[in-house]
């Protein structure tokens, strides 16, 4: 699958479109095929890497390089314990 990867903190130029391995949902997770996503103020704050963000999400670079929490799509896989 393709994803926008943020490997460093900084300007919007730090994002790169890359092919990544399709995740397999764990027992209590679902995987969503995303049709639309938004970029909000919190995404910009995380990208810039304020001191508090770095303390929680990684000093040199983000621990999770794929950002985003607001999306629309359909569930395409579920974990074993999802009902």
pTM here is: 0.77
**Which pLDDT belongs to residue 4?**
93
Tell me which long-range contacts 18-26 makes (C-beta under 8 A, separation of at least 24).
Answer: 20/66, 24/77, 25/77, 25/78, 25/79, 25/82, 26/79
Q: SS3 for 36?
A: strand
Q: What is the pLDDT of residues 27-83, one digit of tens each?
A: 999 999 999 999 888 889 999 999 999 999 999 999 999 988 899 999 999 999 999
CB 30 within 8 A of CB 78: yes
């Amino acid at each position: 699958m393709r994803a926008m990867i943020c490997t460093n903190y900084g300007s919007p130029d730090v994002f790169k479109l890359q092919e990544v391995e399709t995740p397999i949902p764990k027992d209590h997770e679902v995987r969503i095929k995303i049709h639309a996503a938004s970029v909000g103020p919190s995404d910009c704050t995380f990208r810039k890497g304020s001191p508090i963000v770095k303390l929680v999400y990684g000093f040199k670079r983000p621990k999770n390089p794929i950002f985003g929490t607001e999306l629309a799509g359909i569930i395409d896989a579920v974990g074993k314990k999802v009902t």
